[in-house]
Amino acid sequence: MELRVQGAARLQGRIQIPGDKSIAHRALLLGALGKGRTIIQGFPANADCLATLDCLQALGVRIEWTAPEVVSVDGRGRLQEPVQVLDAKNSGTTMRLLLGLLAGQPFNATITGDASLCRRPMNRVTVPLREMGARISGREGGRYAPLTITGGNLQGISYRLPVASAQVKSALLLAGLQAAGTTSLEEPAPSRDHTERMLAYLGVDLVKEGNIIRIKGPQVLAGGRIVVPGDISSAAFLLVAGLLVPEGHVVIEGVGVNPTRTGILDLLAEAGGRIQVKNHRVFNGEPVADLLVEPARLKSFQISGPLVPRLIDEIPVLAVAATQAAGTTIIRDAGELRVKESDRLQAIVQGLRKLGGAVEERADGLIIHGPTALEGTLLESHGDHRMAMAWAVAGLLARGETVVKGAECIGVSFPGFVHCLAGLGAVVGY
């Protein structure tokens, strides 16, 4: 599908952002492994979270929708051997976290995904899970899906993660919960900590000391009530649009502001962005707030080191913002972007150049010179939801019309995105 976006002069309004994808996946997975009922409120019906839900149902877990955004999970403390191949579709979180869950279950399961997911590295989870005792086979010795796993009889391990990845950390925590003895994980830099917060909220004993997390298994999880805050990674597109469209005022309600995710807020504030964070509250151990955004002139910025995992999914839209910022923006230490839903560094460079931006590609980052006037053009989503939405934001900032090809992938994380933009006054549609 082609999404058409017109350059915008004003964005105005108040919006509620759909539930955080990372937290919703974890609520389903922990609910499935727990003993008792877990009620998840604010569950986002995006394609990624639905992939996790379908996989868990195929593993014998009873999950029901009790209201439009409310899901009830009947955890029985164990899963059942699936009859069919599990399909994680486009979702890296589904595949990697599910492998951690399955590593502790004494049966055989095969998991696959779409063409993009089957190209993404899985050895980062299969190597340590094998070390814990899981038997895993798959393409290229288990580097790529489809993967077959036979779990059970896990032993805790001490493991230093080679990359700051919350998916790897979470997979190993899910395995560690089901293993005998202590699993000790060391991260090179802090990544999102939703799994740790949710485990603690559901009564699991885990210890955090600096960059080391220890979990002693096996432990039984209880069910609970989980309210999913709005997804800051979805809010990011509206934040950047609200800052850079010349006029208006945008309020985004109920956004998760966990400090492992708020790199974008810190960065934009430093670059001169006018964002107020108000009405702080806490849902199941996760901080939440409303964001008030007003137009501002941005200065260029630098992204590197430990800031990278705190805004990894926001880099496509921040690269669009950098074209409007005065000065040279430097993004480094972001080689992980090459193994996301698309090679995002390459996708950003191709698209920004077509829009008239001045960008240089590096092995692990980008250099963007601003400000430049963008011209509406035809852009590729590369089947990547965050690229498609970043291009829609670029379209709001560009002169004339921008067309985003393959924009249906937006449904992977934010099915209501176009509707939200239209509600703020943007001229946008399929």
Active site residues: 313
Question: Cis before residue 371, ω within 30 degrees of 0?
Answer: yes
Map the footprint of ligand S3P across residues 42-81, applying CB under 6 A.
none
Shortest spacing between CB 279 and ligand S3P, in angstroms: 25
Q: Does 170 bind ligand S3P (CB under 6 A)?
A: yes
Rounded to a whole number of angstroms, the minimum distance from the CB of residue 218 to ligand S3P is: 23
| Minimum gap (Å) between residue 22 Cβ and ligand S3P | 3
Q: CB within 8 A of 146, min separation 6: which ones? A: 85, 110, 111, 112, 118, 138, 139
Instruction: Give the nearer residue to ligand S3P in terms of CB position, either 174 or 352.
Output: 174
Put the strands of the sheet holding 302-303 in their side by side order: 302-303, 327-331, 365-370, 358-362
CA dihedral 321, 235, 94, 112 (to 10 degrees): -50
R_g (Cα) of the chain, nearest Å: 21
Q: How many residues bind ligand S3P (CB under 6 A)?
A: 10
Identified binder of ligand S3P from the candidate list 49, 50, 312, 374, rule CB under 6 A = 312
Contact criterion met (CB below 8 Å) for 15 and 423? yes
Q: What is each CA distance from 384 to 136, 352, 375, in whole angstroms?
A: 28, 16, 22
Binding to ligand S3P by CB under 6 A, coded x per residue (else -) over 81-110, reads ------------x-----------------
* From 70-78, 150-158, 165-173, 296-304, span contacting ligand S3P (CB under 6 A): 165-173
Which positions from 390 through 429 interact with ligand S3P, judged by CB under 6 A? none
User: Does 337 participate in binding ligand S3P (rule CB under 6 A)?
Assistant: no
Binding test (CB under 6 A) with ligand S3P, winner from 166, 179, 315, 394: 166
Applying CB under 6 A, which part among 159-167, 176-184, 213-221, 294-302 lies near ligand S3P?
159-167
Cα separation of 337 and 342, whole Å? Answer: 8
The string of DSSP codes covering 303-352 is E-TTHHHHSGGGHHHHHHHHTTSBEEEEE-S-GGGGGSSS-HHHHHHHHH
Would you count residue 258 as binding ligand S3P (CB under 6 A)?
no
Please report whether residue 167 would count as binding ligand S3P according to CB under 6 A. yes
Residue whose CB is less far from ligand S3P, 170 or 284? 170
Contact between 313 and ligand S3P by CB under 6 A: the answer reads: yes
CB atoms within 10 A of CB 45: 17
Q: To the nearest whole angstrom, how small is the minimum distance from the Cβ of residue 388 to ligand S3P?
A: 15
Look at residues 285, 22, 62 and name the one whose alpha carbon lies nearest to residue 170.
Answer: 22
Q: Which of 52, 171, 185, 192 binds ligand S3P (CB under 6 A)?
A: 192
Contact with ligand S3P (CB under 6 A) among 126, 165, 234, 262: 165
146 and 114 Cβ atoms separated by less than 8 Å: no
For the bound state, the minimum distance from the C-beta of residue 170 to ligand S3P, rounded and expressed in Å, comes to: 6
For residue 246, the minimal CB distance to ligand S3P (Å) is: 31
Minimum CB separation of residue 314 from ligand S3P in Å reads 10
List the strands of the sheet with 144-150, edge to edge: 86-87, 108-112, 144-150, 135-138
- Interface with ligand S3P includes 385 (CB under 6 A)? no
Rounded CA-CA distance 80/19 in Å is: 28
Selected from 7, 22, 42, 417, the binder of ligand S3P by CB under 6 A is 22
Contact range with ligand S3P by CB under 6 A, out of 9-17, 160-168, 214-222, 347-355:
160-168
Q: Could you give the strand order of the β-sheet that contains 70-76, starting from the edge strand earlier in sequence? A: 62-67, 70-76, 35-41, 225-227
Residue 204, SS3 per DSSP: coil
Q: Which residues pair with 206 in a beta bridge?
A: 215
Which residues contact ligand S3P by CB under 6 A? 22, 93, 165-167, 170, 192, 312-313, 336
